[in-house]
């Protein structure tokens, strides 16, 4: 270990958020306590060690995190996943990612009720107040944008605690005509500005079976407070386990349609990202936009333990149709996958944490990938290297 890196790092430097040590740019811990709050059952040595900082991921742009950017269809906010710990596993509403911000043209009177129509004996409207009164706590669910990307540090993903009403309750009381086998959910999507990158008009068509199996709900609250304007107030759809593109915000219409219904512009736009075969013209030919089991590192921590440099990788595991039992990590193509040291137990409604102690053989650039071993579970994005993250290790 070089003398330079043994140099004492002041608390002030750590708090300032970035420093250079041993030639590596280290993003500082917000506090020392932060680094200690992950369980280390396998390697308790970290409890006695000293955290030096976080090695930033390389080959990722410097996106501005947790700040609302832009407006309307081009509005974004990226959640900073590098701060995640099991103690802060629910994203505060002001840090929850945004993909599309509320229209400048949206006013409260546009969304006082939801129209229930289409292939129905009789159309009717449901008042928002009525829906609000029957809302109940639903639990914690993660949402990921199908367009999540390394360039924004995968910040289009967050988890919150939701309240609302099961969509099936609303649909069953509506009694569709027999040919109304599918359901179109739409929101208020009239914007002042034309988007550079997105097609306006979010709506999605589901089969009744899909909505039932997923436990879809109309959300009224997020983290114990009414939805914010940008997150779809007063009412948004949430389909647990599916990509965010189906979770329609500012819901204003639910319509029964039949097997001949055409795919919406949103379905066509997201066809590739939700791993459809081509871009089917009919809604019935779309497969559920499920988030398959996925995992990635969120932070690589640098420590000194008994005078030695040691790294610890902390990451998340999410998605999948059932909970993953085992997770493996690999630091470069020429190395083998090995089981991660510690995988937090849990279900698949939200992210689970894992940690892995790491002693790189030599200073180098490492490309970290994860794998869910065993057959029987599709992990296409994970296996394609979509969530790979790289670090440049300068000191071992
Ligand atoms: N009405 C409407 N709903 C929408 C969208 C939209 O553009 N308009 N974007 C969708 C997409 S692509 C995602 S990923 C989620 C994001 O929800 P959030 O901004 O609350 O995180 O909302 C979905 N619901
Ligand atoms: Mo999205």
Going from the Cα of 142 to the center of ligand 2, the distance in angstroms, rounded, reads 13
Query: pTM of this prediction?
Result: 0.91
CA 174, CA 167: separation in Å to the nearest integer?
Answer: 11
Going from the Cα of 203 to the center of ligand 1, the distance in angstroms, rounded, reads 10
Considering Cα of 31, then 343, then 327, then 376, what sign does the dihedral take? negative
Residue-wise pLDDT for 181-211, tens only, equals: 899 999 998 888 887 777 767 899 999 999 9
Residue-wise pLDDT for 36-59, tens only, equals: 555 544 456 787 888 999 999 998
User: 113 pairs with which residues across the strands?
Assistant: 127
Is the C-beta atom of 145 inside 6 A of ligand 1?
A: yes
Look at residue 257 in the predicted model and tell me its pLDDT: 96
Is the C-beta atom of 269 inside 6 A of ligand 1?
A: no
Bridging pattern class, strands 113-118 and 251-257: parallel
- Identify which ligand lies nearest to the alpha carbon of 100: 1
- Identify which ligand lies nearest to the alpha carbon of 143: 1
Which atom in ligand 1 lies closest to the alpha carbon of residue 97? 21
Q: Is 28 a residue whose pLDDT tops 60?
A: no
- Identify which ligand lies nearest to the alpha carbon of 244: 1
CA 68, CA 212: separation in Å to the nearest integer?
Answer: 34
């Amino acid at each position: 270990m070089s003398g330079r890196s043994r140099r004492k790092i002041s608390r002030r430097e750590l708090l300032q958020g970035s420093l250079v040590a041993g030639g590596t740019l280290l993003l500082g811990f917000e506090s020392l306590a932060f680094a200690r709050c992950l369980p280390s059952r396998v390697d308790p040595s970290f409890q006695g060690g000293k955290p030096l900082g976080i090695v930033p991921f390389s080959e990722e742009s410097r996106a501005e995190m947790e700040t609302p950017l832009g407006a309307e269809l081009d509005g974004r906010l990226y959640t900073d996943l590098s701060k995640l710990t099991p103690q802060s596993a629910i994203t505060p509403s002001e840090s929850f990612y945004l993909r599309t911000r509320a229209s400048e043209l949206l006013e409260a009177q546009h969304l006082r009720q939801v129209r229930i129509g289409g292939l129905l004996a009789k159309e009717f409207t449901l008042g928002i107040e009525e829906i609000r009164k029957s809302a109940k706590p639903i639990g914690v669910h993660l949402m990921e944008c199908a367009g999540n990307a390394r360039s924004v540090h995968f910040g289009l993903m967050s988890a919150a605690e939701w309240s609302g009403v099961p969509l099936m309750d609303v649909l069953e009381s509506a009694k569709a005509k027999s040919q109304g086998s599918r359901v179109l959910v739409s929101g208020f999507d009239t914007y002042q500005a034309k988007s550079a990158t997105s097609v306006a008009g979010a709506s999605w068509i589901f089969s009744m079976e899909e909505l039932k199996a997923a436990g879809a709900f109309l959300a009224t609250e997020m983290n114990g407070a009414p939805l914010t304007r940008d997150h779809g107030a007063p009412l948004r759809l949430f389909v647990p386990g599916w990509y965010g593109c189906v979770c329609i915000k500012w819901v204003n219409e639910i319509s029964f349609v039949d097997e001949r219904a055409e795919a919406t512009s949103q379905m066509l736009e997201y066809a590739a990202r939700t791993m459809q075969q081509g871009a089917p013209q009919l809604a019935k030919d779309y497969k559920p936009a499920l988030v398959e089991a996925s995992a990635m590192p969120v932070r690589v921590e640098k420590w000194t333990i008994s005078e030695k440099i040691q790294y610890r990788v902390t990451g998340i595991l999410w998605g999948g149709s059932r909970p993953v039992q085992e997770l493996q990590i690999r630091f470069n193509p020429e190395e083998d996958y090995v089981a991660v040291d510690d995988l937090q137990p849990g279900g698949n409604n939200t992210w689970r944490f894992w940690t892995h102690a790491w002693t790189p053989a030599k200073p180098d650039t490492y490309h970290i990938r994860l794998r869910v071993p065993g057959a029987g579970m599709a992990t296409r994005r994970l296996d394609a290297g979509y969530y790979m993250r790289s670090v440049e290790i300068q000191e071992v």
